[in-house]
Structure 1
């Protein structure tokens, strides 16, 4: 089955889908995006992702391309046309097409693009069973990381640094030596007493939707956790490390830089939390 994209009101073959050269997303990275996981043909945390989309749009003063219910209908049609059972749907909204000039254009409708693709659940499980490695890099991003902007060049450089070092992800370190988040994930540790720790939300990190759902599940099950910043030293010496994202779920980390975490295998707490999140996804789907 050939892939289908949605571009500004039209469903098009993915290979022929395009946007105007003066789309402000291309010219200025003047736009936002969301990625929603699909499991068993159902969207996971759809409401949370859409609420964050509306917030990002409002922060950048970009009009919503349509109301929530029509948007959901288009999302479902994109999923249907692509035959997605397990995978993701990507939404991008930019300020639209206008002659290149830095100030906001007047009377310009926002541009909306959606694509979808399949993902292998078996591959994700095999990755989790082995765990992944992480490197640390300086956090060189702007001061509004809470907006899910398409301006991702620092994240791209961080992810490439991870790839260059044979790692899955890069955790970013702020000027005070504290871990902020991964290039496309939220960072967590488990301290030597078994307490789960992750940085609180602020303008310095993205409020991850998977992160928020996992926190709610921890609260329901009475799992002890703490919202606070932690140092690189704490990261290196943690009992366990894991990361969360819409596509990685809860993923154990077994090595950070040159430091082996625990015994070099996925930790029991991380794997338990992964199972808790998987139960949440199964209930949603």
Structure 2
């Protein structure tokens, strides 16, 4: 009788051990599953709207924009991409989605998102200046031939060392030429329209200009690069802001490069990715690479 009791007890112990082992295995599996699922979660691609200077420059540099033998252009940005109409909207979208990726002007970058290395190079003004950071573009302004003396005076201020210092302080690449600004004491009222990427810089430039010309008045409209060009052509603005290379169709206007800017590729702060190649960026924004796995 004693022997049977011992065998029964041994069976209970074995049963309990097997149960414990199965529970441990199941627990391990349940811990690993979310990580595996996380690695395969779809990428949320955030892009700018058509007509945006930032989008035009980005798709050209990364090769997303293709030209055929006839010169016709095709923007291969994924149809699944979420389109945002301003720099601020892109920053908000990426900061609120752990799987998101987007792009913004370097000068507009803030700590709500993470900027990626591109081919191992950080997006900084210094790296834009020496050419090692490849995703970069000019900041142009356009205006009509025969612009007023007051408009030309504001442009002189931007090109002066005082104006270029503002550009440098905002994190863009400046071009100091040893030109000192001499105030005109302007009391003009002008409209400046165009790129949402250039708008924050233009606001700082006009504030600094008013130190020399306190009666100067300006209406700055963030409408997009192409809209800014159209505003000048149609005489609804004196100056247009264009954050890309100018097109042949815009050659009827005079232009000047006021700064150079990098385009930062951004992800959510929780994202594990730190560095992407230009080729991989192209794949993601075209939709051929659809997960972070």
TM superposition score normalised by structure 2:
0.26
TM superposition score normalised by structure 1:
0.27
Higher strand share: 1
